[in-house]
A and B are shown apart, each in its own frame.
Chain A
């Protein structure tokens, strides 16, 4: 009987702990809160309309443009930016480069949240979301579909990323045994996760292989999957640089002493990786361009737009990264990472929206409501991110070292 009592009291204490952790901390009136709360409320209202009146009531989607901003930006672009997680886990857990260990957790957390929110945004776009169980529980497997593959990979990858992150949750809850068990799964999860990432990063590109007759020939190539995969490398790396720079300012008090200096060193390594992968990517693009013989196409507006993406937002930031590494200039590297991200956004949107049905009479552009919902998704992600990092051991070398080896 007494045992029961302690058990129930323990449970109660645990729930109390959870409850206290749920409560927000910190100042309520930060600029971010002031902006994001109205956006999220507006987004929720729009979503209510969307689910009662149909997609047409809030989006500019049309018969010619079945996929718009929610797919093109939230899902296709968001997932590319989440590529940092598989790269960093590869470097830290497979190559065992300890230098990057301190950012592994935060990158995995970012990746996990990106998948939950951005890939989750896919559900908002589904016309008949209740049937989403069909391809999952298996009463209707469309094996033949690339989208089938991609959505399964999203699902599995979220699980593996959660496993990768779960030791931090166990530490937060103070469960050393559970933590030890979860930690033993890390390598397996990492390897599985990298494999899945390879496939669904390229798979997102492979979706558009079927739109051969609709995408502008400058962007359509049978190598879209490979291009998507390679570009996800530098997309992920520049996101890590960008995001790390911001969180190192915002969450200064969560960092271990010295973390800032070591992070700066990490940035140089990441920038090096970005420069090399962008260089390779640029030549891939050039090779395809030559192979398809597109010389005559770069003279019109579409050609300039293409050059802006490929030269202006790939080759230029590539050289900026290289210059920044050589001259140890963090400022240039940060600018380059922003440019690279713009280039990725442009590339993904070009393929999925802008150069899609490029000769249609009426071209799609997102409605303000679509943008508000996208901002809502991003704000919600940041809220959760902030909630997690202020409670769980995410930044810097964790207690992990004490347990392992």
Chain B
């Protein structure tokens, strides 16, 4: 709590208005962030979401029937913004859909020096081609290694899930949520999704592990997961902590203006001290 209070006070590393609000819990949220709840116990591994995603984003559509892609673990790539992986766990086969987590205080937007990675006021994190200079710092910093770069293009894009930002503005749901036949994905306000997730856990306390991935991870994410087995078994990183990533550079960025104010004055003072010292005794003698 201490950290957060301090953060609210100084707000130096605050990224966008939106993330600032998210970190200062005492300020009432004017606009809520949206999110998606993934219930991995419901996912049947049909990969309809992959297909819908590719179609919505104009990327090569995977041949779900024949490509046997579930055999190997995959990560989202520059041509597939979301992938479904199969994990063999204590509870048998479990399928997990992976994509950008739409962090509440994203590392990628804190890293981006052109604001190309941008946390919209509604919550989805989007990438804006007219701003990006392709430095790939977002890729270095994202704790989930989500942004992907088109290395084989003279005019490369940084590809990542945008929660179908364009569709959301037209009042539609993300393409993957709409396509899911098993009701494994649910789109809504994160607050409501959290309630739904908790209700499911309380109703079936033995079915689910009592943890909602994304509630607090890296300061909370827009995308939430429910699971029947511990999240490590599903390939989730459980070592990321609950500190929002921008916090790691907060102290440094906070000290920058202090140094810029203080150091020149200090140096000037030192310089004038040595000057007097030198001028008074003798001109020519410098060597000890």
Query: Is chain B in direct contact with chain A in the complex (CB below 8 A)?
Result: yes
- Interface residue ranges, A against B (CB under 8 Å): 51-57, 59, 61-64, 66-67, 90, 93-96, 98-99, 122, 125-132, 134-135, 140-142, 144-149, 151, 187, 190-192, 194-195, 198-199, 202-203, 206-214, 222, 225, 356, 405
Q: Can you name 25 A-B residue pairings with CB atoms under 8 Å?
A: A63-B77, A63-B145, A66-B149, A90-B267, A98-B286, A126-B133, A127-B133, A127-B150, A128-B134, A129-B133, A130-B133, A134-B131, A140-B131, A145-B111, A145-B137, A147-B135, A149-B253, A191-B267, A195-B259, A206-B252, A209-B248, A210-B110, A212-B248, A213-B143, A213-B240
Is A210 in contact with B111, judged by CB distance below 8 angstroms?
Answer: yes
A213–B103 alpha-carbon span in the complex (Å): 15
Interface centre among B77, B114, B267, B277 (most CB of A within 10 A): B114
A207–B253 alpha-carbon span in the complex (Å): 11
Secondary structure type dominating chain B contacts: loop
Is B256 in contact with A149, judged by CB distance below 8 angstroms?
Answer: yes
Is B252 in contact with A131, judged by CB distance below 8 angstroms?
Answer: no
In the complex, which residues of chain A have a beta carbon less than 8 angstroms from the beta carbon of B237? 213
Is A134 in contact with B114, judged by CB distance below 8 angstroms?
Answer: yes
- Interface residue ranges, B against A (CB under 8 Å): 13-15, 75, 77-78, 107, 109-116, 129-137, 139-141, 143, 145, 148-156, 158, 237, 239-240, 245-246, 248-249, 251-253, 256, 259-260, 263-264, 267-268, 270-271, 274-275, 277-278, 283, 286-288
Is B78 in contact with A63, judged by CB distance below 8 angstroms?
Answer: yes
Asked if A148 meets B154 with Cβ closer than 8 Å, knowing A95-B274, A131-B130, the reply is: no
In the complex, which residues of chain A have a beta carbon less than 8 angstroms from the beta carbon of B271? 93-94, 96, 187, 191
In the complex, which residues of chain B have a beta carbon less than 8 angstroms from the beta carbon of A151? 113
In the complex, which residues of chain B have a beta carbon less than 8 angstroms from the beta carbon of A195? 259-260, 263-264, 267
Is B253 in contact with A126, judged by CB distance below 8 angstroms?
Answer: no
In the complex, which residues of chain A have a beta carbon less than 8 angstroms from the beta carbon of B111? 145-147, 210
Closest to B138 in A: A66
Is B133 in contact with A135, judged by CB distance below 8 angstroms?
Answer: yes
Q: Which 5 pairs across A and B sit closest by C-beta, in order of nearness?
A: A127-B134, A56-B151, A98-B286, A210-B141, A148-B113
Is A144 in contact with B143, judged by CB distance below 8 angstroms?
Answer: no
In the complex, which residues of chain B have a beta carbon less than 8 angstroms from the beta carbon of A145? 110-113, 137
Is A212 in contact with B245, judged by CB distance below 8 angstroms?
Answer: yes
In the complex, which residues of chain A have a beta carbon less than 8 angstroms from the beta carbon of B153? 54
Closest to A225 in B: B252
Closest to B133 in A: A131
Which residue from B155, B158, B253, B267 sits with its C-beta under 8 Å from A146?
Answer: B253
Is A53 in contact with B152, judged by CB distance below 8 angstroms?
Answer: yes
Closest to B261 in A: A195
A101–B151 alpha-carbon span in the complex (Å): 47
In the complex, which residues of chain B have a beta carbon less than 8 angstroms from the beta carbon of A213? 143, 237, 239-240
Q: Nearest-CB distance from A152 to chain B (Å)?
A: 9
Asked if A131 meets B148 with Cβ closer than 8 Å, knowing A63-B77, A192-B264, A195-B267, the reply is: no
A127–B114 alpha-carbon span in the complex (Å): 13
Is A207 in contact with B137, judged by CB distance below 8 angstroms?
Answer: yes
Is A128 in contact with B132, judged by CB distance below 8 angstroms?
Answer: yes
Given contacts A54-B154, A131-B116, A135-B113, 14 further A-B contacts (CB under 8 A): A55-B151, A67-B136, A94-B267, A94-B270, A94-B274, A127-B158, A128-B134, A134-B114, A140-B115, A142-B112, A144-B253, A195-B263, A203-B252, A222-B248
In the complex, which residues of chain B have a beta carbon less than 8 angstroms from the beta carbon of A202? 252
Asked if A131 meets B134 with Cβ closer than 8 Å, knowing A98-B287, A192-B264, the reply is: yes
Is B14 in contact with A147, judged by CB distance below 8 angstroms?
Answer: no
Is A57 in contact with B152, judged by CB distance below 8 angstroms?
Answer: yes
A202–B15 alpha-carbon span in the complex (Å): 21
A98–B282 alpha-carbon span in the complex (Å): 14
Closest to B14 in A: A144
A213–B77 alpha-carbon span in the complex (Å): 19
